[in-house]
Amino acid sequence: MTQDRIAASFDRARRERRAAFIPYLTAGDPSPDATVELARALDRAGADILELGVPFSDPIADGPVLQRSAARALSAGTTLCDVWRIAERIRRETSLALVLFSYLNPLLRPGLENAARAARRAGFDAVLVTDLPPEESADVEPVFRKAGLKTIFLVSPTSPPSRMARAAELSTGFLYVVTRTGTTGVRDSLPADLPATVARARRASRSSRRRGPEGFLPVAVGFGISSPAAARLAATLADGVVVGSALVGVAEKAGEGAVDAVGRFAGQLVRACRRTGNPTK
């Protein structure tokens, strides 16, 4: 039976009384080798699950940091085939569970079934299509499932109960709660209504038929988490904490010292995900 690395990551985090740490990298930024080295640094720092982004020319959900990251990767000539090769290396060289983070268009170009099979062969465990709402996924989600990939859907503070329920029903990896509407990016603080949004998502996840081995679908929080303090707050609410723009920004500023800088920052975020009381259920 194929190992369920996503479920195992959340299970390990719960047993260790912490939230799972889920960083993001853009594949090919600034090069394939650099991406693998950064993934190794994240693994050494204690990350659990890596979101590996497919660079896209029209990243409408991304803020300026991730837009620049995608532009650098595309300028370096990164293709979808390169993403598969990068993932294969990360799978061999780290213990990270891997989530393919992509817009729909790049996956449609080679054919969705071909892309799904290639992603699974490369070592991806799950897929998150950022511009695919649950209401429009009827012809897409089954393709990923058939290929052996778990699915992850996004919900936000403005998601009505019907969308929350549908997203939870379709998600088999975890349910991803966006902290606020708008694009990704570094923020100074988390919104005041985040606890209520996560509580709604958790109710939807507990009612989903696609529960994990512990009897519920994990909930992760992302978008705008840019400091250990924000990660610490998110970890009290959710089962996983996603950090993207802040990490990519650290790498961007550090230049040749990116691996060490990202490793140090990731270590701070991992420590911030630890809980002093009982783990969230």
Report if residue 281 sits inside a domain: no
How far is the C-alpha of 271 from the C-alpha of 216, rounded, in Å? Answer: 25
Residue 152 domain-assigned (yes or no): yes
From 4, 48, 62, 169, the catalytic residue:
62
Rounded Cα gap, residues 194 and 220, in angstroms? 12
Which pLDDT score, from 0 to 100, does residue 278 have?
43
- Would you give per-residue pLDDT tens digits along the chain (281 residues)? 357 999 999 999 999 999 999 999 999 999 999 999 999 999 999 999 999 999 999 888 788 999 999 999 999 999 999 999 999 999 999 999 999 999 999 999 999 999 999 999 999 999 999 999 999 999 999 999 999 999 999 999 999 999 999 999 999 999 999 986 545 545 556 778 899 999 999 999 887 665 554 557 999 999 989 999 999 999 999 999 999 999 999 999 999 999 999 999 999 999 999 987 544 43
Q: Which residues contact 9 (CB under 8 A, 6 or more apart)?
A: 20, 48, 49, 97
Taking residue 32's Cβ as centre, other Cβ atoms within 10 Å add up to 19
pLDDT of residue 266: 98
Per the residue annotation, which of 51, 125, 141, 239 is the catalytic one? 51
With CA atoms as reference, report the closest residue to 172 among 121, 213, 114, 119.
213
Residue 244 lies in a domain: yes
Q: Tell me the pLDDT tens digit for each residue of 140-199.
A: 999 999 999 999 999 999 999 999 999 999 999 999 999 865 455 455 567 788 999 999
Q: Is residue 280 part of a domain?
A: no
Question: Is residue 277 in some structural domain?
Answer: no
Domain that holds residue 163: 5-272
The residue count of the chain comes to 281
Residue 103's CATH number = 3.20.20.70
The pTM for the full model equals: 0.93
Q: How many structural domains does the chain have?
A: 1
| 203/29 Cα distance (integer angstroms) | 37
Using an 8 Å Cβ cutoff, are 84 and 110 in contact? no
Nearest to 227 by CA among 275, 178, 189: 189
Cβ atoms of 127 and 99 within 8 Å: the answer is yes
Q: Specify if 137 maps to a domain.
A: yes
Residue 279 maps to a domain: no
The verdict on residue 198 lying in a domain is yes
CA-based nearest residue to 210, from 171, 165, 155: 171
Examine the residue annotation and report whether 51 is marked as an active-site residue of this protein.
yes
Share of the chain above pLDDT 90, in %: 84
62 assigned to active site: yes
